[in-house]
Amino acid sequence: MTREIAVVAFAQTDHRRTSDELSEVEMLMPVLHAVLDQTGLKTADIGFTCSGSSDYLAGRAFSFTLALDGVGAWPPISESHVEMDGAWALYEAWTKLLTGDADTALVYSYGKSSPGSVRDVLTRQLDPYYVAPLWPDSVALAALQAQALIDAGDTDEPALAAVAARSRTDATTNSHAQLRGSVPQGDYLVRPLRTGDCPPIGDGAAAVILAAGERARDLCERPAWIRGIDHRIEAHGLGVRDLTDSPSTRLAAERAGAFERPVDTAELHAPFTSQEVVLRKALRLDDSVRVNPSGGALAANPVMAAGLLRIGEAAARIHRGESDRALAHATSGPCLQQNLVAVLEGDPR
Amino acid sequence: MSKEPVAVVGVGQTKHVAARRDVSIAGLVREAARRALDDAELSWADIDAVVIGKAPDFFEGVMMPELYLADALGAVGKPMLRVHTAGSVGGSTALVAANLVAARVHGTVLTLAFEKQSESNAMWGLSLPIPFQQPLLAGAGGFFAPHVRAYMRRTGAPDTVGSLVAYKDRRNALKNPYAHLHEHDITLEKVQASPMLWDPIRYSETCPSSDGACAMVLTDRAGAARAPRPPAWMHGGAMRSEPTLFAGKDAVSPQAGKDCAADVYRQAGIADPRRDIDAVEMYVPFSWYEPMWLENLGFADEGEGWKLTEAGVTELDGDLPVNMSGGVLSTNPIGASGMIRFAEAALQVRGLAGEHQVEGARRVLGHAYGGGSQFFSMWLVGSQPPAS
């Protein structure tokens, strides 16, 4: 019998273009307090802590150690860190809870894109010998993918504009979102992608609390049970991938049990409109599924936290009784190279 | 639900050197992974997931390099996790991989850690000036030297103890073909006459900068039953963290290290570590950390650690051998250094440590630490499966 594990609390910052006046720790602290307050837990009550962040955004080595000071790791805590989006920190915490070594976990992630040029920074993720020296930026690579989709007949520019408009309209009810309401599609940033097809650049943080079994029911009226979670990576070389498809997302979804029964909600980590097209196809989502009611990454995309935000948003809808079975997705790397899928369910009402 | 027992059935390392100019980063990691698979007599297809770790991305200048390394590590179509917990990362990475097996998420996992220090300069990678923050003072040596001085003052240990550790570890390295430094003409006098770098730490009492990778294949009970060579069984594993600086922090013997060891001993049923553990691979980047960790890990009472070193207890043929492989003092691909400790502990209980094998080693501790003496990861491995 596998342990049942649930997301029992979720908190996030108001995501903003810049948070010059705040250090990463100062940005994170209110979110940690908020998520702990929801459950009444204190740092000392948490069995395991895991975070996700990137030194390259912070511009310094071991940047996560400062965040740890903010958590308050005294007396010493059982703690780990992934140099990945917080969704993968949640995955590590989930395995820790599965072993029975801990009953509760605090997961957080944060990123400040404002101090640098994030398009340039992300080029440092690419093959350092053959690709990174050419500095192809994240928008240019996404544009390659978008053009491949248009060429394959999977989408067109008006359809992409509709994704952008729907996301920002939905974001009007999300007070944390950075880009809301009527946003012009704008000029081409890198053809065929217009500014409206691209995510806002911004700073933000997210945190969730996981709990196992009865502990979850004690801490949350309607826990969002993680029925399955899996992640898969694809080849790094864009030339060996079919950019119009996402086999890693499909495989992760299969392993997470996403296709066993339909979901009513999907929070997809698609920073570019065109990537929602790829993900909808890979996940076989039809129009009956509510996609990105939060506005998704097109409304707020704090790098390193945007994936954890998707899991948090999906879980929060279950907590509020607005969803019974939701899919959450996170991505990392150029053109959706690495993908994580979680399936969350609430108890029957 | 009880945890699935975790076994180490494959260990692979590169020959650690100052600069592997003959291979790319991908080539380096693949070499270690291939050797771990060969040891386990498995192929890439037998691996369910890959867990990779390394120290700061600035050390090579590649952001989240696991994305680029997916192909080289046969991870395409599989889960790939990237751990980063400062200097303890090699140990933490192995523990995250072990949890995947223990939780029965996967049956067989490849775990790997690396650093290719020749791609940049780690000391300055650690010393980027950050506004409003205390500078790290030219790398790790400048940070740790005052803590060593505090230990000496607190315990009254004679000045020579550090050189004894360095002399021992560098001689042990001569028996380890994968060790970076092979100083065939080493003498105690040469160690003691080497230039002072960060008082009281001399040049020969500090770790080198290495290019290297270390990999292990971890598997479940069924996988261990199929293994061609004796497995090492995990009896306990834990991580602990505490803040970098705070009023009352004991930088000489941090509480997080004590708590981490206590957790591992509890899991493994170790009542008296000095009696129940046969050998230790501990993270000693500066010679004095051997006596300091002997106390922190409970092998000696407070203030007594240096006496074990001085009496030769930690020599390869001593009563409690420490760093049989030559340790971090002889080999330091930073992100991999913790995993090398864990892997060397496994080699010892498997009886596969070659010339630096401790006769009859049944239970061996692997230890790593990082940050400002604040991140700890440890595991205890045994030649027999855990009791429960």
CA-nearest residue of chain B to A248?
B77
pLDDT value for B132: 62
- Answer whether B225's CB lies under 8 Å from B344's CB: no
**Cα–Cα distance between B149 and B144 in angstroms, integer?**
9
CATH of the domain at A40: 3.40.47.10
Residue B71 near residue B26, CB atoms below 8 Å: yes
A257 reaches B (C-beta below 8 A): no
For B283-312, what is the mean pLDDT? 98
Tokens read off for A162 = 């509709």
Q: What is the pLDDT of residue B245?
A: 85
Residue B124 sits at the chain A interface (C-beta within 8 Å) = no
Task: State pLDDT tens for residues A105-154.
Answer: 999 999 999 999 999 999 999 999 999 999 999 999 999 999 999 999 99
Specify the amino acid at residue B250: D
Are both A99 and A176 inside the same structural domain? Answer: no
Confidence (pLDDT) at B129: 67
Its domain, for residue A251, covers 118-198+224-345
Residues A142 and A77 in one domain: no
**A147 contact partners, CB below 8 Å, separation of at least 6:** A191, A192
As a whole number, mean pLDDT of residues B97-117 equals: 98
Would you call A73 and B259 a contact, using CB atoms and an 8 Å cutoff? no
Q: Percentage of chain B with pLDDT > 90?
A: 90
Indicate the DSSP class of residue A335. Answer: T
| Same-domain status, A41 and A151 | no
A56 → closest Cβ in B57, B78, B100 = B57
Mean pLDDT of chain B: 95
Of A315-329, B135-149, B337-351, least confident by mean pLDDT is: B135-149
Q: Measured between alpha carbons, how far is B112 from B351 in angstroms, rounded to an integer?
A: 21
Which of A62-76, B8-22, B45-59 is least confident?
A62-76
Task: Indicate the residue among A185, A219, A253 that finishes a domain.
Answer: A219
In chain B, which among 339-378 make CB contacts under 8 A with chain A?
371-372, 374-375
Nearest chain B residue (CA) to A256: B105
Residue B128 has pLDDT above 80, yes or no: no
Report CB contact under 8 Å: A56, B239: no
CB contact under 8 A, A74 and B246: yes
Confirm or reject contact between B28 and chain A (CB < 8 A).
no
Instruction: For chain B, report the end-to-end CA distance as a whole number of angstroms.
Output: 12
For residues A115 and A252, give the distance between their C-alpha atoms in angstroms, rounded to a whole number.
34
Q: Does A117 touch chain B (CB under 8 A)?
A: no
C-beta atoms of B57 and A122 within 8 A: no
Shared-domain flag, residues A184 and A91 = no
pLDDT at A313: 98
Shortest Cα distance from B363 to chain A (angstroms)? Answer: 22
The strand ranges marked E within chain A are 5-12, 48-52, 79-82, 104-112, 188-190, 193-194, 203-212, 224-233, 265-267, 290-291, 325-332, 338-345
Residue-wise pLDDT for A332-348, tens only, equals 999 999 999 999 999 99
Claim to verify: residue A88 and residue A146 sit in the same structural domain? no
Q: Residue B130: is its pLDDT beyond 80?
A: no
- Residues A305, A271, single domain; the answer is yes
**Average pLDDT of the segment spanning B6-29:** 98
Model confidence band, residue B135 (pLDDT cutoffs 50, 70, 90): low
ipTM surpasses 0.95? yes
Is residue A213 located within the same domain as residue A250?
no
Total structural domains in chain A? 2
pLDDT at B131: 63
Please give the average per-residue pLDDT across A185-192, as a whole number.
98
The answer to whether residues B261 and B272 touch, using CB atoms and an 8 Å cutoff, is no
Cβ-defined contact of B84 to A76 (cutoff 8 Å)? no
List the domain boundaries for chain B: 7-121+208-226
Distance CA(A21)–CA(A112), nearest Å, equals 12
The C-alpha atoms of residue A179 and residue A295 are separated, in whole angstroms, by 9
Identify the H or E element spanning A102: none
Q: Which of A160, A185, A219 is the last residue of a domain?
A: A219
- Looking at the predicted structure, is the pLDDT value of residue A66 above 80? yes
Tokens of B250: 């004991």
A134 and A20 in one domain? Answer: no
Residue B24 has pLDDT above 80, yes or no: yes
d(C-alpha A66, C-alpha A27), whole Å? 12
**pLDDT of A1 over the 60 cut:** no
SS3 content of chain A, % helix, strand, coil (to 5): 40, 20, 40
Does A190 share its domain with A122? Answer: yes
**B84 contact A CB<8A:** yes
A1 touches chain B (CB under 8 A): yes
> Per the CATH hierarchy, to which homologous superfamily does domain B7-121+208-226 belong?
Thiolase/Chalcone synthase (3.40.47.10)
Instruction: Report whether pLDDT(B176) > 90.
Output: yes
CB contacts of A230 in chain B (<8 Å) are 79
Nearest by Cα to A309 from A229, A210, A206, A228:
A206
pLDDT reading at B180 higher than 60? yes
Residues A88 and A149 placed together within one structural domain of the fold: no
Task: Please say if the pLDDT value at position A221 is more than 60.
Answer: yes
Confidence of residue A63 (pLDDT cuts 50, 70, 90): confident
Both A35 and A144 in one domain: the answer is no
> How high is the pLDDT of residue A121?
96
Q: Supply the DSSP symbol for A228.
A: E
What confidence score (pLDDT) does residue B138 get?
A: 60
> Would you say residue B230 has pLDDT above 60?
yes
Contacts of A1 in chain B (CB under 8 A): 1
Same structural domain, A247 and A295:
yes
> pLDDT per residue over A13-41, tens digit each?
999 999 988 999 999 999 999 999 999 99
DSSP H helices in A152-245: 157-170, 213-219
Q: Do A82 and B82 touch (CB under 8 A)?
A: yes
Q: Does A192 sit behind a cis peptide bond, omega within 30 degrees of 0 on the bond before it?
A: yes
pLDDT tier at A62, thresholds 50, 70, 90: confident
Q: How confident is the model at residue B122 (pLDDT cuts 50, 70, 90)?
A: confident
Q: Which residues of A touch B240 (CB under 8 A)?
A: 76-79
Give the mean model confidence (pLDDT) for residues A249-272: 98
Among A188, A219, A250, the domain boundary falls at: A219
Give yes or no for B243 touching A (CB within 8 A): yes
> Is the pLDDT score of A305 beyond 70?
yes
Q: How many CA atoms lie within 13 A of A254 on its CB side?
A: 10
